[in-house]
Amino acid sequence: MQARHPERVDLTDRLRQFELLLNSVTDYAIYMLDAEGYVRSWNAGGERIKGYRQEEIEGTHYSAFYLPEDVAQGIPMKNLHIAEREGRFAGEGWRLRKDGSRFRASVVIDPIWDAGELVGFAKVTRDITERYLAEQRLEKARQDLLQSQKMEAVGKLTLGLAHDFNNLLTIIINSLDVIDTRAQNEKVSEMVLTALRASERGILLSRQLLTFGRGQNLVPERVDLNRLIESGKDLYRRCAGSAVSVFFDLAPDLPMIDVDRGQFEASLLNLVSNARDAMPSGGALYLTSFHCVKANPADPEHRQREYVCVAVKDTGVGISAEQQAQVFDPFFTTKPIGRGSGLGLSQVHGFAAQSGGFAELESGLGAGTTVTLHFPLPGAFT
């Protein structure tokens, strides 16, 4: 036969039991407010969560737990009125501990009625900071994933379109070339030239799209830079236009380096088209390659390093000292709308830096411009 607990609890013991119960709940602050919102009772959970001892907090208005901006908007009293009117207030928000630190609180307020008269409120608060922050982190991770999936999809689409675009433009350019050689009329030649210019600008744009589509990730390959330049000679000559004489001076026996072919080509096209625009009535463009030992100006330790360099030099209008500081900024352009996006030199700069090297600009008003790309020899320090 089971032993029975003796019925030994009188009313005062019940109160004691109730107090013990409330104080053994330490994950919840459970306390009573009077009808005006002053704290009238407090439990161990309240002390653990909010930091006040019972004797400190009893008699204090419960708005002490709210942030000053919430108090300024009268939110503590509004919440009590909602509880009174609707029979309960439940909410979540930031609250203050005694030491001034904030915690995320889940709050329930119930009105206490006695013979139809409001005598106070029962309030239960839970510290849900950890759960809240974990949810926020999860949400952020979800958003980041979504964003990167979106970017990947846009990148793939762009990549596909850029390739198609490039192929179509190549057909257009080849056809225009044929028309040009057969044109017997100067007017027609002029129109063909305009169409060629526009198509070449299209090629340049499609290269930028390819770069974007690859997510700016370089795909470096070990290359002989001179061979890379040689293979694009026609493209560069064409891009420079017939008014500009193009000279190549490539140093023999250059060491191999690691670069992304597509981006290298895009960089040279950007530099050559800038040079062309700087020489509206013609001039000379020098494309040179050479080996040098130098320190990257961005290296605080000024360490000397071996580089293979490519310089694009023009005899154009040059760039003022003031503008030299801005030309590498994305979207900086002095060209009319539709002629320049201001992204050319920032692509050049970004590509050189991502390849472990740097781009250098030398210019003066009326003195022409030289942009030199420096690519480090593989294996040396980075």
Which one, of 46, 37, 49, 50, lies nearest residue 76 by Cα?
37
333, 354, 360, 362: residue in contact with ligand ATP (rule CB under 6 A): 333
58, 342, 360, 362: residue in contact with ligand ATP (rule CB under 6 A): 342
30, 225, 278, 310: residue in contact with ligand ATP (rule CB under 6 A): 278
> Residue 267 interacts with Mg ion (CB under 5 A)?
no
Rounded-to-integer distance, Cα 28 and Cα 13, Å? 23
> Residue 240 interacts with ligand ATP (CB under 6 A)?
no
63, 267, 296, 369: residue in contact with ligand ATP (rule CB under 6 A): 369
> Residue 332 interacts with ligand ATP (CB under 6 A)?
yes
DSSP symbols for 285-316: EEEEEEEEEEE-TT-TT--EEEEEEEEEEE-S
Least Å distance, CB 207 to ligand ATP, is: 11
Q: How far from the centroid of its chain's Cα atoms is residue 330's Cα?
A: 15
158, 274, 289, 363: residue in contact with Mg ion (rule CB under 5 A): 274
Residues 224-250: b if buried by 16+ CB within 10 A, e if exposed: ebbebbeebeebbbbbbbeebebeeee
Per rule CB under 6 A, count of chain residues that contact ligand ATP: 22
Least Å distance, CB 340 to ligand ATP, is: 3
DSSP symbols for 155-207: HHHHHHHHHHHHHHHHHHHHHHHHHHHH--SHHHHHHHHHHHHHHHHHHHHHH
Which one, of 87, 96, 90, 108, lies nearest residue 66 by Cα?
96
Q: Residue written as tokens 């360099």? A: 309
Per rule CB under 5 A, count of chain residues that contact Mg ion: 2
> Residue 81 interacts with ligand ATP (CB under 6 A)?
no
The stretch among 33-41, 75-83, 293-301, 312-320 that binds ligand ATP (CB under 6 A) is: 312-320
What's the burial of 259, exposed, middle or buried (CB within 10 Å: 0-12/13-18/19+)? Answer: buried
> Residue 225 interacts with ligand ATP (CB under 6 A)?
no
Token couple for 335 = 């060209």
Q: Which of residues 147-166 bind ligand ATP (CB under 6 A)?
A: none
What's the burial of 20, exposed, middle or buried (CB within 10 Å: 0-12/13-18/19+)? Answer: exposed
The stretch among 17-25, 39-47, 273-281, 302-310 that binds Mg ion (CB under 5 A) is: 273-281
- Residue 189 binding result from ligand ATP, Mg ion, none, given CB thresholds of 5 to 8 Å by partner type: none
**Between residues 28 and 264, which has the closer beta carbon with respect to ligand ATP?**
264
> Residue 344 interacts with Mg ion (CB under 5 A)?
yes
Token couple for 144 = 């980041």
> Residue 199 interacts with ligand ATP (CB under 6 A)?
no
| Residues that bind ligand ATP in the complex, under the rule CB under 6 A | 270, 274-275, 278, 314, 316-319, 327, 332-335, 340-346, 369
| Residues that bind Mg ion in the complex, under the rule CB under 5 A | 274, 344
